[in-house]
Chains A and B, each alone.
Chain A
Amino acid sequence: AQSVTQLGSHVSVSEGALVLLRCNYSSSVPPYLFWYVQYPNQGLQLLLKYTTGATLVKGINGFEAEFKKSETSFHLTKPSAHMSDAAEYFCAVRGSGYSTLTFGKGTMLLVSP
């Protein structure tokens, strides 16, 4: 079984500041980890994913995430926030051999000028 915990339902940053969205997972098998972004009135769009290999994963729009097995974490970061980054972000896990994703409850990122 898999589960995902996203710390903080809302995160507020100023434009240009570091973005850090936290995700911890639980999985009984090797996990594959995903971050999705949802803009208002749109579907979910894949930002990045970790399957195997390099633990630091780079995605679209300058985001990256690092898989830390010892901490069961997959936090999402971006060095400098843009106003256009304001959206809801979902972390998800899929266990090796499974077909379905388990999503966290989402974190709304608010960016102020």
Chain B
Amino acid sequence: DAGVIQSPRHEVTEMGQEVTLRCKPISGHDYLFWYRQTMMRGLELLIYFNNNVPIDDSGMPEDRFSAKMPNASFSTLKIQPSEPRDSAVYFCASSSLGLAGHTSTDTQYFGPGTRLTVL
């Protein structure tokens, strides 16, 4: 398996522009997570999906951020409009329940991340 795929790996944009980050989870995984990593705040969970449905978006910093998962193999995180304080590395991760209905053994697999710089 190719693992979790994220694109682009690097994004440089100007304040006010729309930014779209993309993620392809591992095939067969039914959970997808978006994280943001900064020096100041560490690793923060932004939102996660189960079977393409958003379950908890309480970590999304504000309305400028939105995430979608139109199918099991694709998710996007959009920032509109972007601001310099959004500069960070954004990670996508996926996992599965493992044994049917048993949640004790899932492992989150992380993508390589997208390094976003907003000027």
Contact = CB atoms under 8 A, between A and B. Distances in A.
Could you tell me the dominant secondary structure of chain A's interface residues?
loop
Contacts of B91: 43-44
A34 B112 contact: no
A74 B108 CA distance: 18
Interface residues of A, number: 23
B31 A96 contact: no
B70 interface: no
A99 B107 contact: no
Contacts, number: 48
B4 A43 contact: yes
Contacts of B111: 43
Contacts of A104: 42
A100 B48 contact: yes
Contact of B42 (A49, A52, A100, A106): A106
A103 B43 contact: yes
A105 interface: yes
Interface of A: 32, 34, 36, 41-46, 49, 51-52, 90, 96-101, 103-106
Interface of B: 4, 31, 33, 42-43, 45, 48, 50, 55-56, 91, 93, 103-113, 115
